[in-house]
């Protein structure tokens, strides 16, 4: 039986509770599809600061690099908020992304049918349903360009620089094209080519690559129009690929379509792993929710759905990923954690939700 090696960083707050439920579901889906997992725990964030004095111990980086993929809960909490920047839990998060060379951030914005009512988007606009994938470049652009303070015309000023190289654009565009091939074949590249030179290079590069992906229908959109279209007519999008800055904003906007932070998964991908898929770190988009930590009420579904992404994008087990998503859909028709609970549904806690998804995998 094939055994996948997973590095697991449970993190702080609700992290351990939600990761345990994801592991429960991964073990069950593996048993059904004929593979297993070996989990290697490692510390990152506040728990690492408490144990070792730093948010990202070298040992954690070593364990993550040795695994097929990495599963992360969430990090942070008030206890560590007064530490200097480089010693805070968030520094561990940025550090592990850099150490693993994770340059593509994937954020699905999907409506689960039973949760239609939770979406802030009107029913008639949702139509048949929504399933968008935002692919954000994660290691380049204005967040990493030259910046500083300087006098301009005798008054104090500041500057940040948006800059991309062709190889940086090519590798993120390839992630977008490949995902579009695996989905409905539509890719929308978002830029600001009417104003920015870096966007004109982005567009030229994406257009050149398009010849290698004849089955993908490529379109371009300016970022301001895209922000508007995501609310006006989100059904027109399948895969969106964009720069670090534009993706930061658009992925938050798109993800709110699902209506609940406890449902939103994400992947950060790097280059090929041992298994041939992209190496990746998988985590819910929410934080460590210290306000509900230890109460057994956190919604584990974002983490469980991150596990489904891990199966699809790194391990190349799409049938197992589909099975988890279908199980989540089935369970949502009956049970809800408090954050998504509505009249008429059974209210359940973190472990009961994990148990229900695991049980639904047998169905
Ligand atoms: P948060 O996402 O942790 O919580 C925001 C609100 O959503 C809270 O009311 C919380 O109870 C609720 N919530 C979040 N996840 C939930 C879940 N799975 N089920 C039910 N309810 C859930 O954001 P915050 O309160 O701004 O930040 C708390 C800590 O998390 C901070 O230290 C912050 O730095 C950190 N954080 C970490 C990450 C990460 O690890 N990737 C991301 C964001 C914030």
Atom of ligand 1 nearest to the CA of 78: 32
The pLDDT assigned to 43 comes to 98
Atom of ligand 1 nearest to the CA of 339: 20
| Neighbour-count burial of 150, counting CB atoms closer than 10 A to its CB (0-12 exposed, 13-18 middle, 19+ buried) | exposed
Domain 120-258, CATH homologous superfamily name and number: Isopropylmalate Dehydrogenase (3.40.718.10)
Tokens encoding 34: 């004929």
- Phi and psi torsions of 315, nearest 5°: -90, -10
The pLDDT assigned to 363 comes to 66
CB contact at 8 A, 4 and 66: no
Q: Which residues are catalytic?
A: 143, 192, 224, 248, 252
Nearest to 188 by CA among 210, 161, 165: 210
Q: Which CATH number fits domain 1-105+260-363: 3.90.180.10, 2.60.120.10, 3.90.1010.10, 3.40.718.10?
A: 3.40.718.10
Strand partners, 11: 74
Tokens encoding 199: 């966007």
Q: Distance from first CA to last CA of the chain, Å, rounded?
A: 23
The reply to whether ligand 1 has any atom less than 6 angstroms from the CB of 9 is no
The pLDDT assigned to 115 comes to 87
Where does the chain hold its CATH 3.40.718.10 domain(s)?
A: 1-105+260-363, 120-258
Interval 145-196: pLDDT, tens: 999 999 999 999 999 999 999 999 999 999 999 999 999 999 999 999 999 9
The pLDDT assigned to 45 comes to 98
Question: How many whole angstroms separate alpha carbon 308 and alpha carbon 30?
Answer: 11
CA of 161 to the centre of ligand 1 (A): 30
Tokens encoding 115: 């949760």
The pLDDT assigned to 255 comes to 83
The reply to whether ligand 1 has any atom less than 6 angstroms from the CB of 15 is no
Question: How many whole angstroms separate alpha carbon 238 and alpha carbon 231?
Answer: 14
The reply to whether ligand 1 has any atom less than 6 angstroms from the CB of 25 is no
Q: E strands, 26-68, where?
A: 35-41
The reply to whether ligand 1 has any atom less than 6 angstroms from the CB of 196 is no
| Per-residue pLDDT of the chain in tens (363 residues, 90 and over written 9) | 899 999 999 999 999 999 999 999 999 999 999 999 999 999 999 999 999 999 999 999 999 999 999 999 999 999 999 999 889 999 999 899 989 999 999 999 988 888 888 788 888 998 888 899 999 999 999 988 999 999 999 999 999 999 999 999 999 999 999 999 999 999 999 999 999 999 999 999 999 999 999 999 999 999 999 999 999 999 999 999 999 999 999 998 988 887 778 899 999 999 865 444 689 999 999 999 999 999 999 999 999 999 999 999 999 999 999 999 999 999 999 999 999 998 999 999 999 999 999 999 986
- Chain length of the chain: 363
- Helix 58-66 with 89-99: angle, nearest 10 deg: 40
Q: Considering only CA atoms, which residue is closest to atom 4 of ligand 1? A: 289
The pLDDT assigned to 275 comes to 46
Query: pTM of the full predicted structure?
Result: 0.92
């Amino acid at each position: 039986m094939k055994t996948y090696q997973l590095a697991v960083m449970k993190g702080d707050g609700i992290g351990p509770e939600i990761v345990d439920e994801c592991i429960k579901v991964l073990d069950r889906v593996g048993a059904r599809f004929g593979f297993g997992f070996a989990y290697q725990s490692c510390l990152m964030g506040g728990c690492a600061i408490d144990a070792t004095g730093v948010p990202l111990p070298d040992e954690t980086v070593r364990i993550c690099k040795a695994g097929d993929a990495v599963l992360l809960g969430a990090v942070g909490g008030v206890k560590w908020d007064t530490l200097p920047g480089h010693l805070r839990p968030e520094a561990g998060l940025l550090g592990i992304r850099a150490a693993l060379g994770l340059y593509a951030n994937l954020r699905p914005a999907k409506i689960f049918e039973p949760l239609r009512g939770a979406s802030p988007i009107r029913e008639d606009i949702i139509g048949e349903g929504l399933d968008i994938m935002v692919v954000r470049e994660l290691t380049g652009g204005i967040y990493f360009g030259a910046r500083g303070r300087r006098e301009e015309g005798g008054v104090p000023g500041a500057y940040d620089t948006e800059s991309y190289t062709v190889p940086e654009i090519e590798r993120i565009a390839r992630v977008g094209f490949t995902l579009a091939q695996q989905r409905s074949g539509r890719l929308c590249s978002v830029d600001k080519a009417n104003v920015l030179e870096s966007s004109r290079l982005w567009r030229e590069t994406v257009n050149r690559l398009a010849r290698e992906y004849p089955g993908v229908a490529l379109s371009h959109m300016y970022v301001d129009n895209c922000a508007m279209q995501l609310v006006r007519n989100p059904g027109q999008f399948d895969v969106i690929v964009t720069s670090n800055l534009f993706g930061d904003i658009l992925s938050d906007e798109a993800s709110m379509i699902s209506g609940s932070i406890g449902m939103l998964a994400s992947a950060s991908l790097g280059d090929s792993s041992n298994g041939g898929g992209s190496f990746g770190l998988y985590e819910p988009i929410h934080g460590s929710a210290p306000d509900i930590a230890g109460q057994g009420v956190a919604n584990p579904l974002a983490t469980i759905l991150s596990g489904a992404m891990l199966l699809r994008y790194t391990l190349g087990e799409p049938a197992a990923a589909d099975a988890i998503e279908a199980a989540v859909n089935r369970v949502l028709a009956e049970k809800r954690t408090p954050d998504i609970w509505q009249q008429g549904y059974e209210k359940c806690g973190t472990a009961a939700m994990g148990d229900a998804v695991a049980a639904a995998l047998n169905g």
